[in-house]
Chain A
């Protein structure tokens, strides 16, 4: 294979990328794209119509007469009318015309749907009558997701979704050839990182010839592990065992609600003798049940691994998604433990991100759940990937104190609520507290539902401190660290008023310092010479702090 051979150094001019899709020219998508994007439904509709008309057609061709159609059959009436009025030819022509028009529409929409990837942006043009042009800046990339819905996956196609900061501001390349999608992701990340790798390992894929070869390739892709071995250095650091996944689902609050609902229905149906109650509640039960099943199947082949360009998280059994999050795109992390998971030591990790993906993640939830369920060791490993600085080995003791500890800890790292806050924090008074490390702020809450929120300073937007009349009477205050919107809201209530004031000052100062030193917009620009094309891409003025190599974002 070519990656074992010494690769000839590529001349520095030009981008050294794996595919030719990232060469700055306009490219088209996978030719079968219209089929995947609604064409299949269209064919299915035609099939249904043909099946329904089969009897009619037989009658027409062979002159059967004994088919009785019900008087209320609208479709049959319409056809009777057409036959009676001898409009059958006109009708067929009209149907053919519509068909041709639709096919032409699909074809042209494919022709007009083009994309290009330059050193500074990903651009997509689409639409026949109403042209749209969407451009995502590479230094604002929050993550790249390769999604393979089941049917396109059978045909060896994949969807590449580039998440840019903002609500639904994503650039979608749907669909590409599966292999291209993986390689293109690497190219885009390479361009976005601001570094220039002089070696470009070619995918080294012998192109399959003939139908047999194509089938082999398809089967190989279906059975292949979700993480492309060639592009991933280490293996997934977390092994998701089916037992734990199913157990955690059965012990989740959703499942308990389902059981209670079922019990309530059965009891009320038995007591009242009205069986229709069973059916009335059925849709809700099916909905929740489906959610739980989807959660299990999606998470069964969960994987998370570290790559040079960030963390890669993969999900899915039949439809798969596989997302790469470049460094510094995680705005806050919450590790939490529902009450029922506690005997087993299971935890769950969610994150706040600046972009909202339209594809759903692990448990049918948004792609904010990074680890659906894991042991304490898994949590340590995943945190180490997500926040390399804030969860470095020397911070592990602090994190552990945040996850499991109560009270201020041995070194008094955590400032907890004072005793007079017991009125507001009945059980968690000694757990409710914060700690500041040089890299992040840690907010620890809950004695029954334990949780720890970590907000890295370089991502924090602002900080505030609040006090209402009730807190004032108790000489308490609450603090908030503001991050981009998401499932996590990093707040901590019922702190001593002087502690809260100190928190406010310290966090504001640390956030300022961290923001100035942050290089994550072009995460490799500091390591290698910044790519000239990438630096030239910055339209705004260069940062005036001369030591800061980061491009203004």
Chain B
């Protein structure tokens, strides 16, 4: 099993979109020499936007209750929340495209975030279990999320937006390589 199995579904030019362009920008940012990141499915953008939209509508409507109850300036609260969620919606595509993982020789590299960047390296041997879960919206789009659990709660490797067959392949691959590289706690 190799890493090449996983990019079948994935848009290869997505990798280029997050590659930094301006040099001054690069020096400030955390960057990695690796370029061949596996990206999550573009369909996950839609999934993420829908769930953001649902939460946003509920919260905005909820925050408008004081306005309907007669508080004159209450509309500002709703408008504020609406603006906040619109901004989140606007950056969702970029945020989703920033999520990436890379199966290296002995460890899994995971990245996410544009504004708040995070890179994690987890040795395969540290795996305690792999979890695939699917929410209702993600399931409608044929996606699932894969969680790589170690003994440390803070490892936090959660890869969302994987097509189901990719997720299952990845899970089987991770279990197989973890078995050959098993380490203690």
**A interface vs B, CB < 8 Å?**
140, 165, 328, 331, 354, 458-459, 461-469, 472-473, 475, 477, 480, 482-485, 489, 497, 500-501, 504, 508, 511-512, 515-516, 518, 520-521, 540-541, 543-545, 550, 552-553
Which residues of chain A come closer than 8 Å to B125, judged between CB atoms? 512, 515-516
Using Cβ atoms and an 8 Å threshold, which residues of chain B touch A473?
28
Choose from A458, A467, A518, A520 the contact partner of B29 (Cβ within 8 Å). Answer: A467
- Is B182 in the interface zone, CB < 8 Å from A? yes
With known contacts A489-B154, A541-B179, A462–B185 Cβ distance under 8 A: no
Q: Do B119 and A465 touch across chains, with their CB atoms under 8 A apart?
A: yes
Check if B107 sits within 8 Å of A550, measured CB to CB. Answer: no
Q: Contacts A475-B27, A512-B107 given: A463-B184 contact, CB under 8 Å?
A: no
CB <8 Å contact, B118 and A466 = yes
Number of A-B contacts (CB under 8 A): 113
Is B55 an interface position by the 8 A CB rule?
no
* Beta-carbon contacts under 8 Å, B101-123 to A: 106-107, 115-123
Known A-B contacts A475-B28, A497-B30, A512-B107; A462 and B121 likewise in contact (beta carbons under 8 Å): yes
Would you call B154 and A504 a contact (CB within 8 A)? no
Checking B117, B120, B183 against A553 with a beta-carbon cut-off of 8 angstroms, the contacting residue is: B183
CA distance A259 to B81 in the complex (A): 46
B166 within 8 A of partner (CB): no
Pair B29/A480 contact, Cβ less than 8 Å: no
- A347 smallest CB distance to B (angstroms): 26
A508-B27 in contact given A461-B152, A466-B118 (Cβ < 8 Å)? no
Chain A nearest Cβ from B173, distance in angstroms: 16
Instruction: Determine the residue in chain A with the shortest Cβ distance to B126.
Output: A461
A485 touches B30 (CB 8 A): no
Shortest Cβ gap from A223 to chain B (Å):
39
Check: B63 CB closer than 8 A to any chain A CB: no
Instruction: Chain A residues near B121: list those with CB within 8 A.
Output: 462-464, 504, 508
Residues of B within 8 A of A467 (CB): 29-30, 116-117
Q: Does B153 sit within 8 A of A, measured CB to CB?
A: yes
Tell me the nearest residue of chain A to B32, going by C-beta: A501
Q: Complex: how many Å from CA A512 to CA B108?
A: 11
In the complex, what distance in Å separates the CA atom of A553 from the CA atom of B28? 41
Return the CB mask of B40-65 against A: 1 if under 8 Å, else 0: 00000000000000000000000000
B179 proximity list for chain A (CB < 8 A): 540-541
- List 5 additional contacts besides A475-B27, A482-B150, A483-B152; criterion CB under 8 Å: A458-B184, A466-B116, A484-B152, A508-B107, A508-B121
Q: Which residue of B lies closest to A353 (CB)?
A: B185
A465: nearest chain-B partner, CB-CB: B119
CA–CA, A541 and B175, complex, Å: 13
Q: Are B152 and A328 in contact (CB under 8 A)?
A: no
A489 nearest in chain B by CB position: B154
Do B30 and A354 have beta carbons less than 8 Å apart? no
Of the candidates B116, B126, B181, B183, the one having the most CB atoms from chain A within 10 angstroms of its own CB is B183
Q: How would residues 13 to 35 of chain B score, 1 for a CB under 8 Å from any chain A CB and 0 otherwise? A: 00000000000000111111000
- B152-185 vs A, CB cutoff 8 Å, 1 = contact: the mask equals 1111010000000000000000000001111111
**A472-B29, A515-B125, A544-B180 given as contacts; is B150 within 8 A of A504 (CB)?**
no
Q: Are A482 and B152 in contact (CB under 8 A)?
A: yes
Residues of B within 8 A of A480 (CB): 154
Q: A354-B185, A472-B28, A516-B181 are in contact. Are A465 and B118 (CB under 8 A)?
A: yes
* Chain B, residue nearest A352 (CB): B152
A501 to B27, CA, bound (A): 12
B151 an interface residue at 8 Å Cβ cutoff?
yes
Q: What are 10 of the A-B contact pairs (CB < 8 Å)?
A: A461-B152, A462-B122, A464-B121, A484-B152, A501-B32, A508-B123, A512-B107, A520-B184, A543-B182, A552-B182
B155: chain A residues within 8 A (beta carbon): 461-462, 464, 482
Q: Distance in Å from the Cβ of A288 to the closest Cβ of chain B?
A: 30
Query: Knowing A459-B185, A541-B179 touch, does A464 contact B117 (C-beta < 8 A)?
Result: no
Closest chain-B Cβ to A255's Cβ sits at a distance in Å of 32
For A512, give its contact among B30, B115, B123 (CB under 8 Å): B123
- Complex interface bits, B123-151 against A, C-beta within 8 A gives 1, otherwise 0: 10110000000000000000000000011
B154 (CB) vs chain A CBs: closest residue: A482
Chain A residues with CB under 8 Å of B126's CB are 461-462, 515
Is the beta-carbon distance between A504 and B119 smaller than 8 angstroms? yes
A467-B117, A482-B155, A511-B123 known; A461-B150 Cβ under 8 A:
yes
Query: Chain B: which residue is nearest A469 at the CB level?
Result: B115
Rounded to whole angstroms, the CA-CA distance of A501 and B119 in the bound complex is 10
B43 smallest CB distance to A (angstroms): 27
Q: Cα distance A515–B30 when bound, in Å?
A: 27
**Within the assembled complex, what's the spacing in Å between the Cα atoms of A461 and B180?**
17
B106 nearest in chain A by CB position: A512
Is A140 in contact with B185, judged by CB distance below 8 angstroms?
yes
**A377 to B183 alpha-carbon distance, docked (Å):** 34
Q: Within 8 Å CB of B28, what residues of A? A: 472-473, 475, 497
* Residue contact A553 to B30, C-beta cutoff 8 Å: no
A460 to B27, CA, bound (A): 29
